[in-house]
């Protein structure tokens, strides 16, 4: 059935995920939802030096929020910070250099951050699509380390801080590509069969949807959501999917259009009127499975995912310096 899922997803994408889909959906948006002052609220955005992460951080900064940029590359991050400060006039922009594919580094950062800052909203935007199987220095497959384990660790490490905050939220930037994948807990690091970076990424994004649903059940006083930004023209898309980019470049959303629903989920009062744990596209909840796609997984598989990630997490917590 994979051919069916891929075909339906691509046709759906051509209709909904492009710039035209955004322009159509935006006709029903209420601009007042995001015309809010968030001064005094603290936001952490991972992968914030470019693309959707930077666009989101910039819009939060415009609204007066304190923004913590979590980035891997110091030079690019400093340029992004300077751009955000200059364009918004907001001086409350802080930079943290962390590699989200390095679990020990995440733990070290999170434990320090918890002692020094408050946090109202966590935005898990950092991600990667590596098209050949690569291992990190910890022996982890790089896509899994960044997209799934890194997201899991930074979120669970910061949940105690979020639980102290008013109107706490966690937003994870996923992808509609996850619609073609059923959760597979038997091969989390893509060790079996041929390696297809696009499908590994899609599997990671399915995992993020499951994580969000599970977190929503476990932490009732935090609002969790996961979203698809549509197909946007970002540096990551250009570098990771050059053929797709060349084919679709004239139809791709802008970075700001891709970031719109992230911003809405992060700042609007309307977002938290909806249940925690949902998957969003263009400011509204959408199904997490295509019709007849057979991508639903049994509860025991979802529980297994959480167990395995927690084991990894604790292993690297005990190994982290400090």
Give 10's Cβ-side CA count (13 Å radius): 9
Residue 201 a catalytic site member: yes
Tokens 């999170």 locate to: 110
For β-strands 168-173 and 278-281, DSSP reports them as unpaired
35 DSSP assignment = -
Region label for 89, one of left (φ > 0), alpha (ψ between -120 and 50) or beta (otherwise): left
Rounded Cα–Cα distance for residues 282 and 149 (Å):
26
> Which one, of 182, 158, 178, 183, lies nearest residue 168 by Cα?
158
**Torsion sign across C-alpha atoms 226, 204, 308, 319:** negative
Measured CA to CA in angstroms, residue 219 lies from 62, 205, 208, 265 at distances of 30, 21, 16, 17
Q: Which of 17, 22, 152, 201 is the catalytic position? A: 201
Residue 272: CB atoms within 10 Å = 14
C-alpha triplet 312, 115, 89: angle, nearest 5°? 105
What positions carry a catalytic annotation? 201
């Amino acid at each position: 059935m994979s051919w069916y899922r891929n075909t339906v997803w691509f046709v759906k994408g051509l209709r909904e995920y492009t710039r035209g889909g955004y322009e159509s959906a935006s006709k029903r948006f209420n601009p007042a939802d995001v015309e809010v002052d968030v001064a005094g609220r603290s936001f952490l955005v991972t992968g914030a030096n470019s693309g959707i992460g930077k666009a989101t951080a910039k819009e939060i900064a415009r609204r007066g929020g304190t923004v913590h940029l979590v980035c891997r590359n110091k030079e690019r991050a400093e340029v992004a910070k300077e751009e955000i400060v200059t364009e918004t006039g907001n001086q409350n922009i802080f930079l943290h250099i962390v590699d989200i594919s390095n679990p020990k580094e995440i733990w070290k950062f999170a434990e320090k951050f918890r002692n020094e800052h408050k946090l109202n909203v966590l935005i898990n935007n950092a991600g990667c699509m590596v098209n050949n199987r690569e291992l990190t220095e910890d022996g982890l497959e790089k896509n899994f380390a960044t997209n799934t384990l890194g997201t899991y660790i930074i979120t669970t490490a910061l949940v105690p801080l979020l639980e102290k905050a008013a109107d706490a939220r966690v937003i994870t930037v996923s992808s509609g590509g996850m619609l073609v994948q059923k959760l597979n807990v038997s091969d989390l690091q893509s060790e079996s069969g041929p390696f297809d970076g696009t499908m590994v990424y899609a599997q990671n994004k399915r995992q993020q949807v499951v994580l969000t649903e599970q977190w929503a059940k476990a932490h009732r006083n935090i609002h969790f959501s996961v979203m698809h930004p549509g197909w946007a023209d970002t540096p990551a898309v250009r570098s990771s999917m050059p053929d797709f980019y060349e084919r679709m470049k004239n139809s791709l959303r802008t970075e700001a259009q891709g970031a719109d629903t992230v911003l809405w989920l992060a700042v609007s009062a309307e977002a938290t009127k909806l249940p925690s744990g949902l998957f969003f596209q263009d400011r509204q909840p959408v199904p997490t499975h295509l019709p007849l796609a057979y991508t639903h997984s049994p509860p025991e598989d979802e529980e297994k995912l959480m167990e395995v990630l927690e084991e990894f997490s604790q292993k690297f917590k005990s190994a982290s310096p400090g």
